[in-house]
Amino acid sequence: MKRAAANPSRRNVHPGRNSAQAIAVTAPNTTLPAGILQGDRRAIARAISEVENETAAGDAIIRGIHAHLGHALVLGITGPPGGGKSTLVSELIGAFTRRGRSVAVVAVDPSSPFSGGALLGDRIRMERHALAERVFIRSLASRGHLGGLSRAVFRVVDVLDAAGFETIIVETVGAGQSEVEIADIADIRVVVCPPGLGDDIQAIKAGILEIADIFVVSKCDLPLADRTELELNYLVGLRPDRSRQPRILRVTATTGEGTAELADAIDAMAGACGRRREERLRERMRRMIAQEAGDAVRQRLHGVESAKLDELCAALGRGELRHEDAVAAAIRLAANGGA
Amino acid sequence: MSAQQRRIRVLMGKPGLCGHDRGIALVVMALRDAGMEVIYSGRHNSPESLVEVALQEDVDVLGVSILSGGHLGLCERIARLLRERNVDDIVFLAGGFIPPEDIPQLKAMGVREVFRDDARLEDIVRFVEKAARERVAA
Ligand code: B12
Ligand SMILES: Nc1nc2c(ncn2[C@@H]2O[C@H](COP(=O)(O)OP(=O)(O)OP(=O)(O)O)[C@@H](O)[C@H]2O)c(=O)[nH]1
Ligand SMILES: [Mg+2]
């Protein structure tokens, strides 16, 4: 652990109320990132809201912390609705904090497509860690984003990474088969398979089989757990890439049985994660640049007075120009400031 | 980047040993259906954990539901913790089986509003929306 971050004994836990408000309003680009890097909980909490709401302050925060990313081990937990993900996360929080590590959790629950509201219930299962010193839990609504996460979750993980949390656990919404977005964010992906899914386990294999590093047969106190384990063994055997065979572990999160073995398996894999994390960080930076570059091009093309651009648009309208050529020419124009 | 619509975030919980959870479940669903993001932390929360969760979740509103008595002591502790942690800008609400004569005392502690067992869900939703909007504007 490289900084005092996420260690409340060494950080400013109580920023003055007025200064905290000033932070959000006047100088988000300097002070909120500083608070995050110090591991100040209120600053972290507010920063997450800013990046989640995609505000200008949120953009500034991301720019202010980008040099401090890539230290945390990011663990993704996915699996069907009600499969026992949150209960398992709670167990893992216990296991990792016992091993002396700080842990942050991002738990995503679905937003209602009708009202846009959401019931964020994952944390009920983690309530016993609410007061743990080196634990931070944040609930996010998916806000209409498909793929098991929310649009802002990458940036939320970045904030927690910059805050110095050593392990970050991301719980997806209850996922079926296509929600494999977790693969892009996590160093290690855990797929939770409760017993008694029946034919659904066949459905799960479609996307999730390929991304899993560890399968957890959850709720092993239930009678059908043996069968689920057998089916998983069979499905894993079908995987073409034999060099990356996932582990299959049994856990009963309600009693804690199997939790230590799961934490051991994660620790064993974490060592080998360096390269994947490097790639992920590069990918992350590219995503960030691509997004901001896109915004910048759009802004310039909308904002600038340019005879050349007018000409280009007219030619496109008359059908004298192919669409792709017009776009390529516009990007060149934007790069040259519209001239 | 197109900004997301800011959503009202609410933490609802039950401090103390009171197990009556039908009322809070109704309120949670009404707030969700009004478009809010509602964190429900279940029963038997300590005042300390409610305040810590409110801080971590960066909520606009903290609502507690108490039907078995004890509201005076519990709300006082929560209000004090909110002040100590510098998060007393969060709108603090209480509801449940609360004698009317206790309401002035609760408000003096820092409880913004009290919703008794005759409260209508529409009124609760409207109040939360208004209070959260005023907080953001402040
Ligand atoms: C149903 C009920 C039960 C059920 C609870 C089922 C459940 N899972 O919820 C059962 C049978 C289990 C039960 C048990 C007990 N009960 Co009982 N119970 C009731 C009863 C009859 C109705 C409560 C109810 O569900 N109302 C319907 C809901 C929708 O209304 P509500 O909770 O008031 O919520 C509304 C508003 O208050 C408001 N609201 C509520 N919370 C919040 C929070 C916020 C933030 C906001 C904005 C609004 C809000 O919004 C809701 C919608 O309008 C009340 C009587 C009463 N008048 O309240 C007694 C009552 C609460 N129970 C009482 C008692 C004594 C008990 C027991 C101790 C009995 C015993 N000796 O075993 C146990 C204790 C259980 C426990 N661990 O706490 C007493 C409490 C006395 C007191 N406070 O001094 C009451 C008042 C009965 C009485 N008149 O004596 N009970
Ligand atoms: N019997 C048994 N039940 C369990 C176990 N783990 C979790 N459960 C129960 O399964 C239900 C769902 O658990 P959660 O942890 O909330 O599941 P989840 O996958 O997070 O659910 P969503 O987030 O809603 O998709 C709860 O009632 C848990 O108590 C277990 O090991 N054994
Ligand atoms: Mg869950």
> Looking at B3-138, which runs of residues are DSSP E strands?
9-13, 37-40, 61-66, 91-96, 113-116
- Which CATH superfamily hosts domain B9-137? Cobalamin-binding domain (3.40.50.280)
What is the tens place of the pLDDT at every residue in A215-250? 999 999 998 899 889 888 888 877 666 667 889 999
Q: What is the CATH number of the domain that holds A183?
A: 3.40.50.300
The predicted structure's pLDDT at residue B109: 96
For A304-313, the CB contacts below 8 A with 24+ separation are A304/A337, A304/A338, A305/A338, A306/A333, A306/A338, A306/A339, A308/A333, A308/A338, A308/A339, A309/A333, A309/A338
Decide if B26 touches A, using CB distance below 8 A.
no
In a shared domain, residues A290 and A258: no
Range of the domain at A214: 2-272
In a shared domain, residues A143 and A215: yes
In a shared domain, residues A268 and A305: no
Residue A19 has pLDDT above 60, yes or no: no
Q: At what angle do helices A41-52 and A17-25 cross, to 10 degrees?
A: 30
The A residues from 119 to 138 touching B (CB cutoff 8 Å) are 119-121, 123-124, 127, 130-131, 136-138
The predicted structure's pLDDT at residue A338: 57
In chain A, the number of structural domains is 2
Q: Integer distance in angstroms from the first to the last C-alpha of chain A?
A: 50
Q: How many CB atoms within 10 Å of residue B77? A: 17
In a shared domain, residues A199 and A236: yes
Tens of each residue's pLDDT in chain B, 138 residues: 345 678 999 999 999 888 899 999 999 999 999 999 999 998 889 999 999 999 999 999 999 999 999 999 999 999 999 999 999 999 999 999 999 999 999 999 999 999 999 999 999 999 999 999 998 887
Residue A314 has pLDDT above 70, yes or no: yes
Q: How confident is the model at residue A25 (pLDDT cuts 50, 70, 90)?
A: very low
What is the tens place of the pLDDT at every residue in A70-88? 889 999 999 888 999 999 9
Across chain A, what does the average pLDDT equal?
A: 82
In a shared domain, residues A289 and A238: no
In a shared domain, residues A258 and A309: no
Decide if A111 touches B, using CB distance below 8 A.
yes
Residues with CB under 6 A from ligand 2: A 81-87, 122, 125, 174, 218-219, 221-222, 252-254
In a shared domain, residues A184 and A298: no
Residue of A nearest to B27 (CA): A119
Nearest CA to ligand 2 atom 8: A84
Report d(CA B22, CA A145) in Å as an integer: 31
Report d(CA A260, CA A75) in Å as an integer: 16
Asked if A122 contacts A171 with a C-beta cutoff of 8 angstroms, the reply is yes
In a shared domain, residues A297 and A327: yes
In a shared domain, residues A9 and A37: yes
In a shared domain, residues A98 and A164: yes
Is there an atom of ligand 1 within 6 Å of B106 CB? no
Query: What are the residues whose beta carbons fall under 8 Å from the beta carbon of A303, sequence distance 6 or more?
Result: none
In a shared domain, residues A267 and A287: no
In a shared domain, residues A57 and A197: yes
Decide if B103 touches A, using CB distance below 8 A.
no
